[in-house]
Amino acid sequence: MSLQAKYQAVLNLGEEIGAKNGSVSEANGVLTIAGTVHSAYEKNLLWDKIKAVGGDAPADLIADIQVETNDYYAKYTVEKGDTLGKISKHFYGEAGKYMQIFNANTGILSNPDLIEVGQELVIPFEQ
């Protein structure tokens, strides 16, 4: 199995999230991948996929994943059934950190209990 085939799930995810300036090369038993994603959250998704395939410190992969913006962790568009607690649980692993999201979005939110489908929220870096 080629290394590119081994890490195909990582490459697929990069395409799925819209990574730009992507490159892939294989030499001397090492796969080198590079590209730019929009947010730190997307970079973390790629690294999680890399670790799932190759372990915590894969010796057969070099990844250079750049991020376009460090102004926020992610952006999220509110879907039916969402609450700030549910969104917080998704991004931070804890529903109780919902006020971090609310405080980062006071320009469009006036109450943490009132969010609307279609609103695009900034997800700040976890504090």
Does residue 1 have a pLDDT over 90? no
Residue 90 CA to residue 49 CA, distance in Å, equals: 17
Interatomic CA distance for residues 105 and 72, integer angstroms: 11
CA angle 107, 116, 97 (to 5 degrees): 65
Write the pLDDT tens digit of every residue in 19-76: 999 999 999 999 999 999 999 999 999 999 999 999 999 999 999 999 999 999 999 9
Helices (H), 55-123: 84-92, 98-104
pTM of the model: 0.89
Helix residue spans in the chain (DSSP H): 3-6, 8-16, 40-54, 84-92, 98-104
Domains and CATH numbers, the chain: 3-67 (3.30.460.10), 74-123 (3.10.350.10)
